[in-house]
Structure 1
Amino acid sequence: MQENKEKISSVLSRYLKGFGSAEDENIIHQWLEDSDLEHEVYEKSQQFWDEIPLEPKIKGYNGAPILDRIYHKIKIEEALFLNKTKPKIRLINYLTRVAAILFIPLLAANLIYYTLNFTTENLQSYSEIYAPYGTRTFFHLPDGSTGKLNGGSTLRFPTQFGEKVRDVKLTGEAYFNVTSNPKKPFVVSTENIDVKVYGTSFNVMAYADEQTAEVTLEKGKVEVFKKTNNIIKSIGILKPNESCIYNSLSDSFKILSVNSAEKFSWLDGKLTFKYEPFEEVVRKINRWYNVNIVIKDDLLNTYTYYGTFKDETLDEVLRLLQFIAPIRYKVFDVVRKQDGTFEKRKIEIYHK
């Protein structure tokens, strides 16, 4: 037994460090197929993992976003798998109930009626795509429409659209390029607004932690609806290069002429500020870099900023902000949670 442990340790060590041979790989595969050795391999792999330092001493390295992205990718795959299996489970449960009822003659008539009225709508399945903070994710919908999710956003949609409408549910921000189908309108539903289109490209921003939602049209035509007290009401039809901003707290809205290219700059990997208050700048940086920046002095919120960043690291952005604004900041170490994931890096910003 001790000899096996030593061999497992030696082979795994070489393989995980990138020095393993083809023979080492074959040996590991054989061990994983052996129920007696599989547990030993798992325990030794776990040991190697636990021995990895939380933050390797490499300049500019930050492992938290990488591990967070892996964690959320696992969650996405898990959700998709569960969504795919749920209809089968419902059908099995349904057939089980049918089999049980068949033994009760008095309920035969009800069973026939229920069976005839059972439709595939009960078997509707959904897919959900999540873009972790600090990432942007492309998506393809069942009707051929495409788009991109910004960081911290979730898009939920049926694996097959219904006969009358193509409906998707969004939390966060997304750009849509919708396939035209006048007979089957496309509807983006958020917590406080709905957007109805027939074939166009546009952007919707509706994060759950913000009181404003914004729709910006690039081309085509969209109609925006507000949702208050379970009542849906149209608040405007947009033309290209127009934005509709709805405030759910004050139940007010405004339609503005905008430069859609600036609004869509995030699609090209650009983080843009256009005369925005410092609080909004920080909110955007938090999502873009998956960090937790805390403003410690309210005086900073009286400043506005204009600028564009592309491919800069978080440290570079902070240094540039420090150069143009009266701020100083403190960066805290990343904290590892019990489930193996990491908390967002915390940064406190003070007025000089």
Structure 2
Amino acid sequence: MDFKSIVFRELLEDEYFIQWLIAPDNVSDKYWQSWMKNNPDKATVLRDIKAVVNAIDPKSTYQLNMAEKNEILGHIKQYAGQKKCQESSWNRSRPKPRKLTNTILMAACFVILAILTAKYFGVFDPIPVQEPPVTEQMISKQTTKGTKSSFYLPDGTLVKLNSSSSLMFPAAFSDTLREVKLVGQAFFEVTRNEAAPFVVETEHLDVQVLGTSFDVLSYPGSERFEVAVASGKVKVNSFAGNQEILTKTEMTQLDVHSGQLIKSHFDPVYQLGWKDGVLVFEDETFEKVFERLEYWYGVTITVSPSMAIDKSYTGKYDNQSLENVLIGMSTVLDFRFKIDGKQVTIFH
């Protein structure tokens, strides 16, 4: 029997305590206040019992079913059977109990029954304190126009983040799932862990792998949503409910209008060259070319209204400056340019 239960039984077997609960007076109040001060380790149990008695409303009764009555009666009988006629060993200096009338005796029986019932149903049990939920710490890596970033995730996965992109991930992955959220473009070299799949969540696609390297393109406001695999195998799920399994040199493109995934093969230099500083254009209009240059170099390009930029362009630049790239393009489109800090003007 634990300490709290011993004190509980000790109090209920004390005639003077029961009298105080039913018909307190100044003398008994002073005695039990002094008792609590001298017995701080037992005072909590006394206060609990007193709180139950104070909360009793004789006008409100709860009708127990037969099984509940029998079970509670059994507990009362158990307490009564164990009680022996003995002199209290407590402080002899306490006042002598007053003679109780029949009404008070009936009330005392009612109070004892109520307290035993409360004890049985766990009223005196400590209320479990719920720990506040642990908020998962998230980390966000971002790049602006003209910048790229390389870093490792908590599991050792290497990430190369393209310009104007962001990646959000937890400070520590769980044992069963490694999930990140991507906006923009990133290349992943995933550390293999068969027990914890690696999932990249984007605006329209989810990519799931165990251990592989692949590229995800998902810029907001764009109609290009692509996944390209450099090694291993990945599973791509679109939010429209379509799925593709990709292996090395295979890619899929999302048709944003139909929700279909279109599978094909790709040129690694064209699709993945950006992570190594290689800028590749393949039959792209100059409007798209200038847009990509803005992201790549972090500049704003203004084109003269008189220029026709609907021509297509194909070219490759390996870690070249913006000036060298524009010089190479100008021979095809026949234009001149001016670079003033982050402002670039294209004109005839």
**TM-score after normalising by structure 1:** 0.59
1:346 alignment partner in structure 2: 343
Equivalence map 1:23-172=2 (5 Å): 112=127, 115=130, 118-119=132-133, 122-172=134-184
Deviation at 1:252, TM superposition (A): 3.7
More helix by share: 1
Q: Distance in 1 between matches of 2:307 and 2:158?
A: 42
Which residue of 166, 190, 193 corresponds with 1:178?
Answer: 190
Q: Distance in 2 between matches of 1:209 and 1:277?
A: 18
Check if 1:202 corresponds to 2:214: yes
Residues 93-142 of structure 1: per-residue CA shift (max 9 Å, x gap): xxxxxxxxxxxx99x99x945615x44xx321011111222122111111
Which residue of 258, 263, 279 corresponds with 2:266?
Answer: 258
CA distance 1:113–1:283, change in 2 (3 Å): farther
2:291 alignment partner in structure 1: 283
Which residue of 191, 202, 221 corresponds with 2:233?
Answer: 221
Deviation at 1:214, TM superposition (A): 0.9
Equivalent position amino acid for 1:189 in 2: E
2:201 alignment partner in structure 1: 189
1:61 alignment partner in structure 2: none
Q: Distance in 2 between matches of 1:250 and 1:319?
A: 40
Equivalent position amino acid for 1:176 in 2: F
Deviation at 1:267, TM superposition (A): 1.8
How many residue pairs align between the two structures? 228
Deviation at 1:163, TM superposition (A): 3.1
Check if 1:305 corresponds to 2:307: no
Which residue of 232, 236, 241 corresponds with 2:244?
Answer: 236
Kindly, what percent of the aligned residue pairs are identical?
Answer: 32
CA RMSD of aligned residues (A): 2.8
Q: Distance in 2 between matches of 1:292 and 1:149?
A: 21
Equivalent position amino acid for 1:319 in 2: I
1:317 alignment partner in structure 2: 325
Q: Distance in 1 between matches of 2:306 and 2:157?
A: 43
Report the secondary structure of 1:124's partner residue: coil
Contact kept? 1:167, 1:187, Cα under 8 Å = yes
Contact kept? 2:253, 2:261, Cα under 8 Å = yes
Report the secondary structure of 1:264's partner residue: helix
Equivalent position amino acid for 2:332 in 1: I
Larger radius of gyration: 2
Contact kept? 1:278, 1:302, Cα under 8 Å = yes
Q: Distance in 1 between matches of 2:307 and 2:255?
A: 24
Q: Distance in 1 between matches of 2:321 and 2:272?
A: 21
Gaps of 5+ in 2: 1-51, 56-122
Equivalent position amino acid for 1:115 in 2: Q
Which residue of 203, 207, 211 corresponds with 2:223?
Answer: 211
Equivalent position amino acid for 1:188 in 2: V
Q: Distance in 2 between matches of 1:112 and 1:284?
A: 62
Deviation at 1:296, TM superposition (A): 4.8
Q: Distance in 1 between matches of 2:312 and 2:127?
A: 68
Contact kept? 2:242, 2:261, Cα under 8 Å = no
CA distance 1:115–1:349, change in 2 (3 Å): same
Deviation at 1:157, TM superposition (A): 0.3
**TM-score after normalising by structure 2:** 0.59
Residues 332-352 of structure 1: per-residue CA shift (max 9 Å, x gap): x55xxxxxxxxxx333435x5
2:256 alignment partner in structure 1: 248
